[in-house]
């Protein structure tokens, strides 16, 4: 049962999620009333425990790493599992300090859904079989549909969730359709047969691959598969927006890397140009539309679309440098995006999510305004912050791989993005405050902010340990076909 042992973090997390779900049931709610406040903390603890189990595999690689027929536990999978769990912990923390106009009152199922979603993503980033990938994909999708519509009394939340659901269901169908082509070509759903099949049945495998890209493109919110993003992000509870903008996107990108950076490298199907095109479209469209947003959640939603475009550069170049850059940028993106959303939650709890809520934030609370500036500048790629190091790596990969057009489009996009990130800064620093009180900051919000800011600065100023970690994490294990 060595193969199953590799899955111990996922099994642990699923068990915890199911246990947490019990806490919300009608039968147990009354006797456990006193414990209702503890449930979210238990969720955080469970995620932290799972992260510990994942990290264990780094200490005893010979026992806890390996590749099976369905899944692989290799350095890259471990890296993304840690990112996903980190995102979960941050999001659960943020949820504790999030004040909604329409509170939901289901702390148990809320935490459990986030954890189940995390299980799905952890399986997805390590999947080497399409059937498992599809199951994981569905687990992620279904739990995030519910999370997006969690504030069921808010019509915007329901609208976003329904849009998300319809498009998500469609993308699963497309993905499944692609898998059926692949099965037709190879007679198996294992990706191990992909390279050989691509040589013998090139058109069929190519078609299948295109369908997968479409399906995963929805999840990773690549243009032109991004329609659901702004509405779902705006309607969802803000911590869930944070979650959706980070975790599923990174997981989908990780699976794309596994398939198209490793199992079916560019040399086999020649999709490098397609990914470069997708990257350029995604970043350009996301940035251009973000310029016209007056709601911070929507602005950050479009910014997250653009950010996925930068990440895709690493896939487009297809070499080791690109893959390392992608991993590094994913880490930076997790920190800076979570940080920006944390400030949005702090401000939004009392003043809402319109840009005007940020008027004079520098006078109300200079620290919060400086932190937001830090995260926004990092997202824009200004040194010496995490986003710059990530972009530097990715642009280097593009230049080194000879993708000149991609590199030029990407740097121009960085310039454009500064304009709308600075719009928030203009409101914070150059406008007069409506009221003098500083926004209230809860303990968990403070700690998330501190964690994100420390990470952004550390990764920006002293990236060496992170670069070294990324270099050793960019390894994928191959399974015998």
Partner 1 sequence: MGILSAIILLPLLGAAIILCVPKDKPRVVQGIAVAALVLDLLLALWALASFDPGTLQMDALSFSFVEKLPWIPSLDIHYHVGADGLSFPLILLTALLSLVAGVYSLNITVRVKEFFFWYLLLETGLLGVFAALDFFLFYLFWELTLVPMYFLIGVWGGPKKEFAAIKFFLFTLFGSVFMLLGILALYFNSTPHTFDMVQLMAAHAGFSREFQILVFLAFYLGLAVKVPAFPFHTWLPLAHVEAPTGVSVLLAGVLLKMGAYGLLRISYSMLPAGFQWFLPVLVIIAFINILYGALCAMDQTDMKKMVAYSSINHMGYCMLGMAAVSSIGFSGAVLQMITHGLITGALFLLVGVVYDRAHTREIGAFGGLGSVVPVYAGIMSLTCFASLGLPGLAGFVSEFLCFLGAFPAWKWVTILSVSGILVTAAFFLRMIEKVFLGPLDSKWEGLPDMNARELLAVLPLTALTVAIGVWPRLALDLMNPTVTYLGRLFPDLFGALR
**Integer Cα distance of 303 and 300 in angstroms:** 5
**135 interacts with partner 1 by CB under 8 A:** no
Minimum CB–partner distance for residue 67 and partner 1 (Å)? 26
How far, in Å, are 120, 270, 292, 338, 362 from residue 10 at the CA level?
9, 34, 41, 23, 43
Q: Binders of partner 1: how many residues, by CB under 8 A?
A: 32
> Where are any strands of DSSP class E within 153-228?
none
Of residues 217, 229, 356, the one with CA closest to residue 300: 229
Minimum CB–partner distance for residue 152 and partner 1 (Å)? 41
With CB under 8 A as the contact rule, the residue among 366, 434, 440, 454 that binds partner 1 is 366
**Integer Cα distance of 163 and 147 in angstroms:** 13
**288 interacts with partner 1 by CB under 8 A:** no
With CB under 8 A as the contact rule, the residue among 399, 438, 446, 475 that binds partner 1 is 399
**414 interacts with partner 1 by CB under 8 A:** yes
**12 interacts with partner 1 by CB under 8 A:** no
By C-beta, is 185 or 394 nearer to partner 1? 394
> The dihedral of CA 199, 200, 203, 208: what is its sign?
negative
| Three-state secondary structure call for residue 67 | strand
Minimum CB–partner distance for residue 404 and partner 1 (Å)? 8
**DSSP 3-state helix, strand, coil percentages of the chain (rounded to 5)?**
80, 0, 20
Of residues 478, 479, 477, 480, the one with CA closest to residue 74: 477
Please list the residues that pair with 275 across neighbouring strands.
none
Q: Using alpha carbons only, what angle is made at residue 153 by residues 147 and 158, rounded to the nearest 5 degrees?
A: 50
**407 interacts with partner 1 by CB under 8 A:** yes
With CB under 8 A as the contact rule, the residue among 15, 411, 440, 443 that binds partner 1 is 411
**210 interacts with partner 1 by CB under 8 A:** no
CB contact at 8 A, 281 and 362: no
Query: Could you give the residue ranges of the DSSP H alpha helices within 236-319?
Result: 238-256, 266-269, 272-290, 296-317
**400 interacts with partner 1 by CB under 8 A:** yes
Minimum CB–partner distance for residue 382 and partner 1 (Å)? 6
66-105: which residues touch partner 1 (CB under 8 A)? none
With CB under 8 A as the contact rule, the residue among 92, 175, 315, 362 that binds partner 1 is 362
With CB under 8 A as the contact rule, the residue among 267, 270, 419, 450 that binds partner 1 is 419
Helices and strands, counts by H and E, the chain: 23, 2
Q: Is 316 exposed, middle or buried (0-12, 13-18, 19+ CB in 10 A)?
A: buried
Q: Which stretch binds partner 1 (CB under 8 A): 7-15, 191-199, 333-341, 462-470?
A: 462-470
**412 interacts with partner 1 by CB under 8 A:** yes
By C-beta, is 366 or 454 nearer to partner 1? 366
Q: Which stretch binds partner 1 (CB under 8 A): 208-216, 294-302, 330-338, 382-390?
A: 382-390
Of residues 417, 420, 379, 392, the one with CA closest to residue 283: 417
**Integer Cα distance of 218 and 224 in angstroms:** 8
Site string for partner 1, 425-454 (x = CB under 8 A): -x--xx------------------------
**251 interacts with partner 1 by CB under 8 A:** no
Residue identified by tokens 């994100």 is 452
Residue identified by tokens 């709890």 is 349
Minimum CB–partner distance for residue 309 and partner 1 (Å)? 16
By C-beta, is 202 or 399 nearer to partner 1? 399
**170 interacts with partner 1 by CB under 8 A:** no
Minimum CB–partner distance for residue 310 and partner 1 (Å)? 13
**363 interacts with partner 1 by CB under 8 A:** yes
Contact residues for partner 1, defined by CB under 8 A:
362-363, 366, 373, 377, 382-384, 388, 392, 395-396, 399-400, 407-408, 411-412, 414-415, 418-419, 422, 426, 429-430, 462-464, 467-468, 471
């Amino acid at each position: 049962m060595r193969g199953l042992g590799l899955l111990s973090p996922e099994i642990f997390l699923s068990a915890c999620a199911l246990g947490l779900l019990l806490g919300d049931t009608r039968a147990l709610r009354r006797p456990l009333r006193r414990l209702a406040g503890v449930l979210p903390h238990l969720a955080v603890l469970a995620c932290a425990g799972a992260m510990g189990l994942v990290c264990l595999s780094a200490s005893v690689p010979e026992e806890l790493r390996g590749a099976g027929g369905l899944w692989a536990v290799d350095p890259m999978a471990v890296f993304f599992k840690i990112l996903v769990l980190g995102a979960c912990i941050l999001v659960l923390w943020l949820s504790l300090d999030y004040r909604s106009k329409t509170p939901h009152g289901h702390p148990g199922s809320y935490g459990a859904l986030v954890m189940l979603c995390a299980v799905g993503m952890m399986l997805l980033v390590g999947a080497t079989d399409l059937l498992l990938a599809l199951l994981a994909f569905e687990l992620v999708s279904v739990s995030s549909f519910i999370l997006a519509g969690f504030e069921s009394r808010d019509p915007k939340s329901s609208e976003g969730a329904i849009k998300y659901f319809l498009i998500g269901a469609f993308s699963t169908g497309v993905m499944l359709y692609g898998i059926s082509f692949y099965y037709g070509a190879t007679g198996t759903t294992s990706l191990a047969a992909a390279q050989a099949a691509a040589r013998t049945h090139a058109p069929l495998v190519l078609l299948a691959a295109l369908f997968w890209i479409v399906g995963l493109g929805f999840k990773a919110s690549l243009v032109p598969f991004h329609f659901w993003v702004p509405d779902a992000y705006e309607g969802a509870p803000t911590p869930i927006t944070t979650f959706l903008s980070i975790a599923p996107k990174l997981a989908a990108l990780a699976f794309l890397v596994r398939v198209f950076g490793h199992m079916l490298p560019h040399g086999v199907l020649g999709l490098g140009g397609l990914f470069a095109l997708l990257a350029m479209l995604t970043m350009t469209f996301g940035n251009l539309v973000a310029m016209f947003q007056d709601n911070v959640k929507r602005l950050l939603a479009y910014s997250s679309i653009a950010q996925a475009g930068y990440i895709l550069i690493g896939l487009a170049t297809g070499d080791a440098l690109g893959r390392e850059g992608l991993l590094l940028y994913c880490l930076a993106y997790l920190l800076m995006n979570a940080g920006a959303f944390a400030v949005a939650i702090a401000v939004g709890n009392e003043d809402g999510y319109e840009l005007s809520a940020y008027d004079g934030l520098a006078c109300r609370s200079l620290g919060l305004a400086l932190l937001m500036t830090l995260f926004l500048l990092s997202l824009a790629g200004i040194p010496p912050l995490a986003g710059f190091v990530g972009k530097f790596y990715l642009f280097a990969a593009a230049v080194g791989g000879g993708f000149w057009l991609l590199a030029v489009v990407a740097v121009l996009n960085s310039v454009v993005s500064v304009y709308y990130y600075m719009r928030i800064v203009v409101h914070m620093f150059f406008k007069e405050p409506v009221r003098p009180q500083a926004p209230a900051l809860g303990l968990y919000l403070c700690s998330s902010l501190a964690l994100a800011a420390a990470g952004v600065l550390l990764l920006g100023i002293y990236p060496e340990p992170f670069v070294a970690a990324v270099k050793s994490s960019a390894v994928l294990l191959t399974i015998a076909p």
